[in-house]
Structure 1
């Protein structure tokens, strides 16, 4: 599948925004008094961060190949 460079730039921008929000969410949950109560939410957010980091890496590689 072919993607335009503008589409890749926008996708990366959106992913960066989501990553920032997820990282803030993790900080919030980890600062809660009873952190064990939020363990599953923290795990889910961390897994999503990892998935978006992989997506960002792949987008960056694709953008570099377009140059």
Structure 2
């Protein structure tokens, strides 16, 4: 289990999933939602998913993406 700030988590996720720099900046992690990574017996990344409803996760990710933006 890892609990950390969004930027730290992005760094870990970037490494585990081999995500390029220009793509990782678009990853908006929702706060306080478990994010599961599964690995095979050789510790190779297999899959990842959030432990919540996908529609709810999308809304939370959108909210994170818009934090600090001026509302009109």
Alignment TM-score, normalising by the size of structure 1:
0.30
Structure number with greater Rg is 1
More helix by share: 1
Q: Which has the higher contact order (CA 8 A, sep 6+)?
A: 1
More strand by share: 2
Alignment TM-score, normalising by the size of structure 2:
0.29
